[in-house]
């Protein structure tokens, strides 16, 4: 039986390497994760160029649009088309007219200003307003579910197993069963891809939790809160700002989720 095309073919490549062990070297090939410029173009206007793994780009575009507040729901994204170029990929997004008008107005307001470099935010006050979203009521998570989710995520990280160079983001049920996994060289990109996959499959954002194979940064918590995800677990440490944003926005933030151990930094009442 002839196997079909590799769905991850564009996400990795083979490169020659001289591998040393002790005092000896061997020439061989190694599998390396790819990253390339991905241009996000809304209604014909370029909005951002991100360095990302060229995989699940439709999910990436939808998730980015939701987590950055460009669209409030998936229905406001009418079409997503990926166009490949020699130097990268262009993702063409057809956005509802009212939302696109708001995006254009925001870009005009930013023109000529000196930004702080934080996802297009040009002032500390705007950052505070953006972080002020509050997550509503979400279900509880069983403590044992974190261990199950870690095991299942590791087994489903296909690109990581090939390259060792990407982050994973998993959407898990309250009992720890992993329903969706997305991977990328950037942890924020992996989460955006996951958010897009959840929205694309019309799953409820308040009916599960996210597990990240990375540290928990401010942006991770902010993106989760923006779409209503109430529980975020990470295998590594959180930052102080991530903890403060989680406390203020109602997100249960879990760090150092490794085996049977984990630390709950905010809203521990959701972990039983």
pLDDT value of position 143: 83
Instruction: Look at residue 114 and tell me whether its pLDDT is greater than 70.
Output: no
The residue ranges of every structural domain in the chain are 36-130, 143-270
The least confident of 84-98, 117-131, 160-174, 177-191 is 117-131
* DSSP characters over 39-84: EEEETTEEEEEEEE-SSSHHHHHHHHHHHTTS-SSGGGEEEEEEEE
DSSP-assigned states of every residue in 119-166: TTB-SHHHHHHHTT--------B-HHHHHHHHHHHHHH-HHHHHHS--
Among 63, 62, 93, which residue's Cα sits nearest to residue 224?
63
Tens digit of pLDDT for each residue in 196-220?
999 999 999 999 999 999 999 999 9
CATH of segment(s) 143-270: 3.40.140.10
Note the pLDDT tens digit of each residue in 118-149: 554 555 555 554 555 567 677 789 889 999 99
Please say if 119 is a catalytic residue.
Answer: no
Same fold, 36-130 and 143-270: no
Mean pLDDT to the nearest integer, 73-83 = 97
Active-site pick, 73, 116, 119, 172: 116
- Does 185 have pLDDT greater than 60? yes
Q: Say whether pLDDT at 115 is over 50.
A: no
Per-residue pLDDT tens over the stretch 224-264:
999 999 999 999 999 999 999 999 999 999 999 999 999 99
Which pTM was predicted?
A: 0.90
With H, G, I as helix, E, B as strand and everything else as coil, classify residue 237. Answer: coil
Q: Which CATH code for domain 36-130? A: 3.10.20.10
3-state helix, strand, coil in the chain (%, to 5): 35, 35, 30
């Amino acid at each position: 039986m002839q196997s079909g095309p590799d769905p991850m073919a564009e996400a990795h490549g083979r490169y020659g390497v001289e591998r040393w062990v002790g005092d000896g070297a061997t020439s061989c090939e190694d599998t390396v994760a790819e990253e390339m410029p991905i241009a996000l173009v809304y209604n014909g206007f370029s909005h951002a160029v991100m360095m990302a793994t060229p995989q699940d780009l439709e999910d990436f575009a939808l998730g980015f649009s939701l987590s950055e507040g460009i669209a409030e729901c998936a229905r406001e994204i009418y079409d997503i088309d990926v166009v490949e170029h020699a130097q990268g990929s262009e993702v063409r997004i057809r956005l509802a007219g009212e939302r696109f008008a708001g995006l254009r107005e925001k870009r005009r307001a930013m023109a000529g200003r000196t930004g702080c470099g934080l996802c297009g935010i040009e002032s500390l006050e705007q950052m505070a307003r953006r972080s002020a979203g509050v997550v509503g009521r979400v279900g509880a998570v069983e403590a044992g579910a974190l261990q199950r989710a870690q095991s299942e995520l590791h087994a489903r990280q296909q690109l990581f197993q090939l390259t060792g160079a990407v982050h994973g983001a998993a959407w898990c049920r309250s009992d720890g069963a992993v329903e969706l996994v997305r991977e990328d060289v950037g942890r924020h990109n992996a989460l955006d891809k996951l958010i897009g996959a959840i929205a694309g499959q019309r799953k409820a954002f308040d009916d599960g939790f996210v597990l990240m194979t990375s540290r928990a940064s401010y942006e991770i918590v902010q993106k989760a809160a923006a779409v209503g995800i109430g529980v975020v677990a990470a295998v590594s440490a959180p930052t102080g700002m991530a903890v403060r944003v989680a406390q203020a926005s109602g997100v249960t933030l879990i760090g150092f989720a490794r085996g049977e151990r984990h630390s709950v930094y905010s809203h521990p009442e959701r972990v039983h």
